[in-house]
Chains A and B, each alone.
Chain A
Amino acid sequence: MDIIDRYLAAVRRQLPPAQQDDIVRELGDSLRSEAEEREAEIGRPLNEDEQAALLKKRGHPWLMASRYLTQQYLIGPSLYPYYRKALGMVVFWVVLPIVLFGGAIHTIYSDASVAGWITRVIPTAWNGAIYSVGIVTIVFAILEHERVRLNVLDNWNPKRLPNADDVREVPRSESVLGLIFTLTFLIFWTGAFRVPDLIFFNSEPARIAGGPVWGQLYWPILVSLIASIGIYLIDMVRPWRSTAVSMADIVINLVNLGILSIMLRANNYVQVQTTAEHLEKAARAEYFINNTFMVTFTVIAIITAWDVLYEIWRLVKSRPARAYAL
Chain B
Amino acid sequence: MDPNLFDTLRLELRRGSLTLAVLAQLRSEHYGYTLRKALADLGLDIDEGTLYPLLRRLEAQELLTSEWREEGGRNKRFYKLSPDGRQILKQLLAEWKRINSSLDRIV
Q: Which residues of B contact A166 (CB under 8 A)?
A: none
Inter-chain contact B49/A29, CB cutoff 8 Å: no
Distance in angstroms between the alpha carbons of A64 and B36 in the assembled complex: 16
Distance in angstroms between the alpha carbons of A173 and B91 in the assembled complex: 44
B20-72 residues at the A interface, CB under 8 angstroms = 31-33, 36, 47-50, 52-53, 56
Cβ proximity bits B65-97 to A, threshold 8 Å, 1 near / 0 not: 000000000111100000000000000000000
What bracket does the count of chain A residues touching chain B fall in? Answer: 10 to 19
In this assembly, does A27 line the interface, its C-beta being within 8 Å of a C-beta of chain B?
Answer: yes
Inter-chain contact B75/A29, CB cutoff 8 Å: yes
Distance in angstroms between the alpha carbons of A177 and B39 in the assembled complex: 53
A1-43 residues at the B interface, CB under 8 angstroms = 23, 25-27, 29-34
Inter-chain contact B49/A30, CB cutoff 8 Å: no
CB distance from A173 to the nearest CB of B (A): 30
In this assembly, does A59 line the interface, its C-beta being within 8 Å of a C-beta of chain B?
Answer: yes
Inter-chain contact A67/B77, CB cutoff 8 Å: no
User: Do A26 and B47 form a contact, CB below 8 Å, given A32-B74, A33-B33, A34-B33?
Assistant: no
Q: Which residues of B contact A313 (CB under 8 A)?
A: none
In this assembly, does A44 line the interface, its C-beta being within 8 Å of a C-beta of chain B?
Answer: no
Distance in angstroms between the alpha carbons of A30 and B75 in the assembled complex: 11
Inter-chain contact B52/A26, CB cutoff 8 Å: yes
CB distance from B100 to the nearest CB of A (A): 28
Inter-chain contact A26/B49, CB cutoff 8 Å: no
Distance in angstroms between the alpha carbons of A284 and B88 in the assembled complex: 79
Q: Name 4 extra pairs, CB < 8 A, besides A67-B50, A67-B52.
A: A29-B31, A30-B52, A58-B48, A67-B53
Interface residues of A (CB under 8 A from B): 23, 25-27, 29-34, 57-59, 63-64, 67-68
21 pairs of residues in contact across A and B, judged by CB atoms under 8 Å = A25-B77, A26-B32, A26-B52, A26-B77, A27-B48, A29-B74, A29-B76, A29-B77, A30-B32, A30-B33, A30-B48, A33-B33, A34-B33, A57-B47, A58-B47, A58-B48, A64-B48, A67-B52, A68-B52, A68-B53, A68-B56
